[in-house]
Amino acid sequence: MADNNKTDGERPEGERIAKLLARAGVASRREVERMIGDGRIAIDGKVLDTPATILPNLKGVTVDGKAVAKPDQTRIFAFHKPSGLITAERDPKGRATIYTALRNAMPKGSPRVMPIGRLDMNTEGLLLLTNDGELKRALELPANGVPRTYRARAFGDISQEQLEDLMDGITIDGVHYGSIDANLERRTGRNQWIEMTLTEGKNREVRRVLEHLGLQVSRLVRTAYGPFELGDLPRGQAGEIKQADVERLRKMMKREGFL
């Protein structure tokens, strides 16, 4: 289906359909593109065949035959993820997922939400959730440099000087990890708590870096993501971020060109 919102010599008016659907909370842009490839999205009854289609709005757009509702107000929720949960909607191995816990943890009347980034099964702490797929993508992209802070309990020997070397980045088994701000918080014998702030969020980044330094990680907690902190949110519970803080974040992301 060709872009039908432009004439020769004019720029198209509107936005790519994947971006509009992500903003409406249907799915992430990447997932929307897969849905288009699977023939699940149509416009005025005609199955869409390209994610490059540009539209002014979602009028006439259907997903699996159902009309897409207008985007709701962007909302963000903080969830204190316990260890032992998979950050996914479903797991082929039948393991418990965050959505198992969210059924009881989310406030009443909450919209369908998607996790911003992931925490592996054995990592606990702050997991942000949103109904805005476009904001989700912007907060996840490593290029946007959104900081994530973790506290790791690790066994072994390490010095502050060794941790400070991580500011220059480190390459492990051919994978390069960017600058990490790491600080030794406290030590009891050979056990210590280490705080680490990074911006890339690669798969198992904190564990791999600390294990490369000869440490054994026994507990890992994410304490902050962007401007939002875990605080005293009880484990297994979720709460909504104040709307004023959400709007402040969106304005900043737009100002930086991330949205």
Residues annotated as catalytic are: 120
DSSP result, 64-122: TTEEPPPPPPP-EEEEEEPTT-BSSS--TT---BHHHHHHHHSPTT----EEES---TT
Q: What is the bridge-based pairing of β-strands 216-225 and 124-130?
A: parallel
At residue 162's C-alpha, the angle toward residues 161 and 164, to 5°, is 65
**Among all chains, which residue has been given the structure tokens 């099964």?**
121
What's the sign of the alpha-carbon dihedral 141, 30, 22, 97?
negative
Q: Between the CA atoms of 42, 47, 50 and 55, what dihedral angle is there, to the nearest 10 degrees?
A: -30
Q: What is the bridge-based pairing of β-strands 54-55 and 15-16?
A: antiparallel
Q: What share of the chain is helix, strand, coil (3-state, %, to 5)?
A: 25, 30, 45
By the 8 A CB rule, do 124 and 220 touch? yes
Nearest to 48 by CA among 57, 38, 58: 38
Alpha carbon distance 225, 92 (integer Å): 28
Distances (CA, A) of 94 to 77, 102, 124, 231: 25, 17, 20, 31
By the 8 A CB rule, do 82 and 122 touch? no
